[in-house]
Every structure is written in C-alpha cells, then in structure tokens.
Chains A and B, each alone.
Chain A
Amino acid sequence: MRRSESFEKEVGIVARVKLDITRRAFLKGGLATGGLAVMAPTASIGAVNGMLNAQDPWYREGAIETTYNVCDVCPWHCGIVVQTVNGVVRKIDGNPKDPKSRGMLCARGQGGVSFMYDPDRLQSPMIRTGERGSGQFREVTWEEALDYTAAALLDIKDKYGEESLAVFAHTSGDHWFADHFAQAWGTPNAAKPSSSLCLSPRDEAATLTYGSAVGGHEPVDWDGIQAMTLIGSHIGEDARNTVMQDFANAHARGAKVIVVDPRFSSVAAKADYWLPIKPGTDTALMLAWMNVLIAEDLYDKAYVAEWAEGFDDLAAHVAEFTPDWAAGITDLPAAQIRETAQVMGANLPRAAVIPGRHTVWYGNDSQRMRATYLVNTLLGAYGREGGMYFNKSAYLETYPHPPYTVAGSSGGCSAEPGEETAELPLGPTGKARADGVRESFMRGPTAMQELIDPMISGDPYPIKGLIAYGVNMLNSIPNPQKTIEALKALEFVVAIDVLPQEHIAWADVVLPEATYLERYEDLLTVSHRTPYIALREPAVDPLYDTKPGWWISRELGTRVGLDAFYKWENIEEYIDKRLISVGSNIEGLREEGGIITQNGKPYLEDFDGSSPFGTGSGKIQLYSQDLAEAGHEAMPVYEPVDEPPTGFFRLLYGRSPVHTFAKTQNTPVLHDIDPENEIWVNADAAEQLGVADGDYVMLENQDGARSGPVKVKATERIRRDAVYMVHGFGQNAPGLTNANGKGASDTKLQTRYKLDPISGGAGMRVNFVRLDKEGV
C-alpha cells in the first residue's frame, strides 16, 4: 500500500480533501480514449495516450498548421513552434529564431501537448457547495462565477479596504493579476513565488552590489567563458534549455568547470573539480577564494581600480579567511580551495561564478550572493566577454491605461528590474505592504510567505481575500500546514488554474484557465543580450469551458469598476497596438517567425566610458554602505547554520529535468518518464540504517511532520550529512490522477524556514529529516 491511502493516513497534518463534483468527465473515469470523446477531439487523446497501430504518423493525417508560441511549462519561456493537424496539437519544437530555444526544446516543453490534453484539467467554472477544503463544488456559468467573485471582492474592499486583497500569481499570465489587476485595484499585497521563494536574494544582492538585478536570463557569456563555477546549480537536472546548450558547448570547448555541491549531480559528473561542500558553508568558501585571489595577486587590478569601490576594506576583511580556515568549516581540502581559486584567477576575466536561480537556502542568502558577486568583481567579470554581460530590456510601449492606483512590488522572474523607492507605496486607504518589509527584512519584492501570518492574525491589518492564479500554494510556500490555516481564515478565495491542484479544494470559486497553447497572451518582452519580443498565439481554441487569463482579468476588472484599465477591443487589437511602437503587428511578427530581436549593449565598451553600473556612485560596491546603514554586515561574513540533530539529515531538494516545480507531475507523458521522486541517501549511511536501495521509507522532520512513502536511492553521490529529493512530488490532490500521493513532498517537510533579513527570501534548507521504515 504505497500510494494514496497510506499517504492520507500518514500526512495527517495536511487535511485530506476530495474533489467531488457532479460532472463525470472531471472524474477519473474519463481517462481512456473513449471517455473524453465528447470533450475533446478523439484523435488527439488517442494520440497522446498512445493508440496502438495508428495507420499513419500524425504528420501525414492532414495539413500541418504552424503557430508561434512561448512555452509555459517552465518560467524560462522558450520560443516554440506548435504543429497542429486537423485541429489537434501534435508536436512542439523549439523555434529556431528564438534566442533561448534556438530550435531545441527540453523534455518538459515536449510534454506541453500532453499537459494540454491532460484529462484531469479543470473544465468548468465552479462555486463551492461544501465546507471550504471539502472539495465540493457545483458547476456554474462564467457569468455566475464572475458576478459572484466580483461581489465578494467589492465586499472585502468595502469592509476592509483594497489592501486587504492579496494576489498570488505564477506562470506567464501572472502579469494580468499580480501586476495589472492588483495595481489597478490598489493592493500592494501582490506576490509571486518567483521572488521570495526563489530569486529575491540573488537579485537584491545584485542590486546592492552592482546596481541591477541579474534578471530572468542570467547574463553569462557562455560563448567566451574559460572557467565557470557552479554553486548548487544543477545544469541538466535544472533543464533550462539555453543553459544546457551553452554549458555543453563551453564544456566541449574545454572551459574549466568547478562544481560546488554536497551532491554529485549530473553536472558535477562533468566537472574538472567537484567540491562536495558541507551544506550551508558556501560563504566561507567564497571568502577563502577572495583571500587567495588577493593574497596571490590573481585579481583584475585595473578593473577593480576603475569599476569598484571598497577594495581596501575587502582586502583587510578577507585577510584572515585563508583556505586553511575555510577547510575546517567547509569540509574541503585547503589545497582544493586554493587550486580552484587559482584556476579562476588564471582565466580572468573569462571566469565567473554563475549566479544560479533558486537561491533561498539558509536565510543568509543575500550575503552569500554578495560574496558571489564580489568574487566575480575580483575576476573582472561584469561587462566583459567571457564573463557576464549586461542585459537590456526590450523596447515596447504599453497599452495606454490610467495611472495605477498603487505602484507594483510583486517582482518575479519575468519582471523588468524596477527601482525600489525609499518610501513604500500606499494603497487607497493608506496602508503599505503587510509583509513586514523594512522591519523584518530590508527590501525587495513582496514576500509571499510573509503574507500568510497576516491572513491568520490580522496583523498589521487583515488580509481577507485572495486571488490565486497558477500558483501551487500548498506545494511551494514552506509550512503548508500554516497556509491551510490561512486559507481557512480568509473570507474569500478565488483560484484560477489549469489543473485541480491541491489548494483548489480550499477555494470558494474556481475559474478554469486555457493553457498557453489555446490562447493569445500579452507579448513577451525579454531582457537579454539581444532583447526581443515574442508572440504567443493559440494553436487551437480552448478545450472545455476554459478561458484565457487575460480574459478573466478583464472580466473581473470590468465588474469591479476598473474598466478604464481594460479599454482594448479584443486581445488582437491590444497586441497590435503595442506592436505599433516597434513598427509591426501580429501578422508582421508572425512573418518574422514569431520573434523580433533588438540590439543590446552587453559590454563595458558599449557604454562609451559612462558607467553601466546602477549604483549611486556608478561603481561596484565591494563594501556596501546601504547594508551598513540598514544595520547589516557591509561585507559578507560566514555565519554557521544549525546542524542536523543526531539521527537526522539535512533535507536538500532540487529538480528533475522532466518536471517543473509541482506543475507537471500529473502530465501523462512526463509522469510516464518520471513518476515519483526518490530520497538520495549516502550508501554507507543507508547501510547503517539497514535501508537498501529501492526500499520505501517514510520521512519525519524535526517537528514531527511526516511524508508519504518514498523510494530510497542509496548512492555514493551524496554526503553523509544530507539527503536529497526532487521537489514537487507527494501532492495530496485527488483530482490529479497520476500525481496524487506519488513520492514525498519536500514542502510538507519544510515546517520551518529562515527569513533572509535583507531580501525577504524564505530559506528552506533549514529542515532535517530522519528515515522511518515503519508505516510504509
């Protein structure tokens, strides 16, 4: 009994919910080819589910229609070409014109067809009939669902003010809710998981150090780099298409690869140097690298003199942090620490520590990222070929609308880097963000996890309503047990999604969205070496009774008195109008192959002597006056993190190249390739515990939270003090036929997180688990 039943029993802390609605097709019975015939073109379902002995391959069944799109299976957003035959999407490939995909595509992107034809999709608007969390709904018309939602939102506004509505949004339509709707409506409490649950430390530290956020596309000049250092970055498991291409080329060219990771990841197996560091000690390693670079005169003196300030402070600061000092902390040989610093120094400025993406680890993450940038500055990497280039935003006018009611602060990986004002923006009733910014943390986008408490406590003011768009709340925000308390305390919750994700059962209204293959989208503008604009056009009409996010945003907006913000006739007119500013239109963009590319200014020489660094002085801040004034360390220091208690391992988590977050585990084709996660345990440690490779165990964390059964991978590939699993499994969502109860959830074992006092990021690698053979 490995699956849902025992899972239900063991994960008692997370309430079990059952989606129970009347429509047959929603239930699992419709899985086989026949059951869906009424809902979707029969051939398509047969095809994606694998009908045997098809007489002809799909591309001979009829004319192939090609549409341009932007993949939405992960937030990397590759340009894609979608092939449709007889009204059925059959294949997705990379768009050769797209600077990210360059004609290639990862496993997840390939799975997009299957994601769209997933029979478990939400199919109709629904209004809750049972208790919240019971998952009992009745199907309603869009008219009824939207009227009901609008009335509830206006009621919250009347009773508590606009600021009492929170908006959580993820995936490529997030702009319509967390930015456009939230700012028009007037709430500063709009948040994206890609900020405080992912990128905030990376981008706030970058802004403090060299004056601009790293941005969506890490600006590494992979074509010229000669020595790359990856710290906790798992290229190949983290399957960002472009990065895998760039890495493969750089590696084949002979660029040196240094990988710092407690685990022998796919990319560690490609490395020239693998540093199996003790988790949580990365800053000590980087301080020692700086010590070597300076002590051995291996830094770029001319660059540092011209572009950085605070070098003398830094040199004095790191003088005591020798490789011998760091060896005792990091569990790495001093000689290896010295040698890797020398490799970087010998290759400068064609050398860089890659900033990575998911950087919320231990709560000291902004300081760790600062250390990364300081190493890169000593290497002379910023603005240099072979190092890091400067991204430039694509130029494109917005569709005219009245001034927003409140300035945006949701951030996110697709957002343009904005300037943070000293004064926090206030909503219409005079309230600023409720996430504690300026008090519990210094700066950065709205921290999603910090809005959970105000939903429960009403402090500093009540948060009473929630719009949850495409955000898998209970499988992303740490301590989901508490998130459920918040969902119970809210007066109104509307969930907009493609799939019946775990949190859907807690919504009052469920609005089913059309996937990216079935809708137009606002133009994607990408900040890049060559900035570009990409088109998303529908390959087919929406399946079932689903609607695009922009349509839902507009329908809600017009019902709550925000029609001035949605003055466009239709989405095509909206897109065409924006494209006038670059002398094109939808048809023109299509003729261009779905992509319009603009010129960038990637390197220092492109700035004609002026500074590209957006700090006040135009210099890179080795010593940060801003941090000092806010009461933080002006230069990174090593602070020990809590050790695992006896018998416990530190819980590390990462990615499968076949899955995105907790989004694709149910997608039939992707589930078929990678159906469940495993818990990696050092082989010796497993033997001592009497656990064999392939056994199933339960995991219990330091607070008694338990996972469902998960398969053990006993391996030499990980240190003895940590265990590792892929994120996104162990979902407790009965409506997800394939994913429900499969594997273990790292999120449900993260009952704790440590707040990064600088960026508001939620450090999640502060939880410990033990293996339990009982109850499997």
Chain B
Amino acid sequence: MSQYAFLLDLGRCIGCQACVASCKVGNELGIGQQYIELIEKTHGEFPNLTGGWDNHRCYHCGDAACIAVCPTGSLFKEDGLTRLDRSTCSGCSYCTEACPYDIPVMWEGKSSKCDGCADTVKAGGSPWCVGTCPSMALEYGPREEIRAEAHRRADALRNRYPNAQVYGETQAGGLGMLVVMPDDPELLDIPIDPKTPFMAQAWQKIVQPASVGITIGAAVVAGAAAVVARRRHEEELDELEAAGVISGHGDEKEQEEDE
C-alpha cells in the first residue's frame, strides 16, 4: 500500500489561515468545528524576539495512539494517513486522551480531526488546505517524495536558520506530516519525543476489551452513556496505574487542572 504524507514548511508559513478557511469550506465543517488551528508563538523579550506559527493539526502518526484506543474502529490507517469515520464514532473520547499532540476534539458528540481529505483525494483533488496555501507551505504526495522535498527545503533554509530541520521522520513511528522547521520544535511547543499519556499498547490489550461493551452502549444511548464510559475509562486508568501497568496518568490529570 502506498504511503502518502503532507509537507508543512514552517519556513514559508506566514499564518494567513487560508488553510483553515479552505478546510472549513471544502469539508463543510460546522460552526465551531476546525481541523487546523494556527497558534502564534513568541520567544524572548522585546526587542529580541523570535516567533512563528504552530499549525495545530493531525500529524498522522505512524503508530497512532488514537487508533490504538478507538473501540469502534472509526479511526484507522489508510495510505499512511489516519482516517476518521465520524458515522461510526461512538463518542467515547478516548482518542482525545491518547493523542500525544492533543489533536482530536469532541464536536457535537463525536471525534473531530483532519482525515487527510480522504474522499477529496479519492475524487481526484488535493487536500483543501494544500490546494489553496498562498505561501506554498503545504504539499501532499507519496511519503518518500515528500520526505526528499522536506530535506531539500530544510537544507536551503539552513542558510538563514542554521538549526533548520525536518520533523516527523521518527516521531510516533514516523509521521504522515513531515514538517520543515526553522528551529527546534520546542520553540513551537511541539515535543521532540512525543509520548502518549499512557501506554497505548497496554490499553489496547487490557482496557479496551473491558470497555467495548460500554462504548457500544454509548453509541446507542448517546450522550449520557458516553459520560459513563468516560468515567469508567478514567477509573480503569487509575486501576491500571495502581497495578503498575501504566504510569503518569494521575500526573497528567493534575497538569490539566493546573492549566
């Protein structure tokens, strides 16, 4: 099966949000629903500043934690990208917990994230964001070609930014979004070594079988059942942590509260 990937060139991105709007219109997303969010980042003190735009959007992880935890198979791999079939999503929200990049969100009771414009590409188009980007910061194609192009761009960028690099070749099993970065990913608050908040493998083997019944119930009863499932999920995680199967779950909750 061919592997496809996006190229995101942050040397070029100037934060104009054309991708955000094209995605919303082309995919007919609802009011309040967005697959791409641009977040301004600034470092230093006036007037010694650096800054850029984090493109907060699905990285299409090779080892996708969201797929590992999805009890209904609504999240799955195809052509190297992480697809989402909202029609079968039960709304359990496990994927929102599992994602190391904090990408999927719940929208109208179901998971919501970039699916690489699966259908548009099948219909012969390019992903909506790629087609419109006035900075030509976005490309889409076979992963190997994208990887080579990413390196060409990073090499050229090093004349201006000595620390320019390609991000995504190794992270999370290799990303379906290779990012050309002018500098270290931490400057955009992007983790060098993304970690899932808990061990997705353990989750898949131990917890998921126990919670499938509940989440199927959630799909039927919708809203209320989802809350039960969610609570159950939290309890299970705590139990697992107590048993020493996973670690850091409690820490993560505290962190969330701090924020």
User: Residues of A at under 8 Å CB distance from B?
Assistant: 47-54, 57-60, 90-94, 103-111, 113-114, 235-237, 239, 241-242, 244-245, 247-249, 251-252, 254, 264, 266-267, 269-270, 272, 274, 276, 657-658, 668-670, 672-674, 682-684, 715-720
Contact between B30 and A49, CB atoms less than 8 A apart: yes
Q: A48–B134 Cα gap in the complex (Å)?
A: 23
Residue among B24, B157, B160 facing the most chain A CB atoms (10 A cut-off): B24
Q: Which of B47-55, B198-206, B213-221, B224-232 contacts A (4 or more CB under 8 A)?
A: B47-55
Partner of B29 from A50, A269, A270 at Cβ < 8 Å: A50
B-side contacts of A270, CB under 8 Å: 14
Contact between B14 and A266, CB atoms less than 8 A apart: yes
B22 within 8 A of A: yes
A-side contacts of B45, CB under 8 Å: 716
- Tell me the smallest distance from the CB of B50 to a CB of chain A, in Å: 7
Q: A658–B24 Cα gap in the complex (Å)?
A: 13
3 shortest A-B CB distances, which residue pairs?
A: A50-B30, A236-B14, A107-B21
- Tell me the smallest distance from the CB of B35 to a CB of chain A, in Å: 12
Q: A266–B153 Cα gap in the complex (Å)?
A: 21
- Which residue of chain B has its CB nearest to the CB of A106? B18
A-side contacts of B136, CB under 8 Å: 104, 245, 248-249
- For chain B, residues 31 to 65, give those with C-beta under 8 angstroms from any C-beta of chain A: 31-34, 42, 44-47, 49-53
B255 within 8 A of A: no
- Tell me the smallest distance from the CB of B258 to a CB of chain A, in Å: 16
B-side contacts of A107, CB under 8 Å: 16-18, 20-22
Contact between B22 and A264, CB atoms less than 8 A apart: no
Given known contacts A92-B25, A237-B16, A719-B46, what 9 new A-B pairs fall within 8 Å (CB)?
A53-B86, A59-B120, A105-B18, A107-B20, A109-B18, A236-B15, A244-B14, A248-B137, A716-B45
- Tell me the smallest distance from the CB of A213 to a CB of chain B, in Å: 26
Partner of B28 from A57, A60, A244 at Cβ < 8 Å: A57
A-side contacts of B30, CB under 8 Å: 49-52
- For chain B, residues 1 to 23, give those with C-beta under 8 angstroms from any C-beta of chain A: 11-12, 14-18, 20-22
Contact between B25 and A669, CB atoms less than 8 A apart: yes
Q: Can you list 29 A-B contacts with CB-CB less than 8 angstroms, sorted by A residue number? A: A48-B28, A49-B31, A50-B31, A51-B30, A57-B27, A57-B119, A91-B25, A93-B131, A104-B18, A104-B131, A104-B132, A105-B132, A106-B18, A108-B21, A109-B18, A110-B24, A110-B132, A237-B15, A237-B16, A245-B134, A248-B137, A252-B11, A252-B156, A276-B47, A657-B17, A672-B24, A673-B20, A674-B17, A716-B44
B26 within 8 A of A: yes
- For chain B, residues 42 to 98, give those with C-beta under 8 angstroms from any C-beta of chain A: 42, 44-47, 49-53, 86-87
- Interface size of B by CB at 8 A reads 50
- Tell me the smallest distance from the CB of B163 to a CB of chain A, in Å: 15
Partner of A668 from B31, B44, B86, B123 at Cβ < 8 Å: B31
- Which residue of chain B has its CB nearest to the CB of A257? B160
Q: A591–B46 Cα gap in the complex (Å)?
A: 54
- Which residue of chain B has its CB nearest to the CB of A58? B28
B-side contacts of A264, CB under 8 Å: 42, 46-47, 49, 51
- Tell me the smallest distance from the CB of A668 to a CB of chain B, in Å: 6
A-side contacts of B34, CB under 8 Å: 672-673
B-side contacts of A48, CB under 8 Å: 25, 28
- Which residue of chain B has its CB nearest to the CB of A102? B134
B169 within 8 A of A: no
- Tell me the smallest distance from the CB of B24 to a CB of chain A, in Å: 6
B-side contacts of A237, CB under 8 Å: 15-16
- Tell me the smallest distance from the CB of A510 to a CB of chain B, in Å: 27
A251-B12, A252-B156 known; A269 vs B132 contact (CB < 8 Å): no
B133 within 8 A of A: yes
Q: A49–B26 Cα gap in the complex (Å)?
A: 12
A-side contacts of B46, CB under 8 Å: 264, 276, 682-684, 716-720
Contact between B134 and A244, CB atoms less than 8 A apart: yes
Q: A47–B46 Cα gap in the complex (Å)?
A: 45
B-side contacts of A50, CB under 8 Å: 28-31, 33
B-side contacts of A106, CB under 8 Å: 16, 18, 21, 132, 134
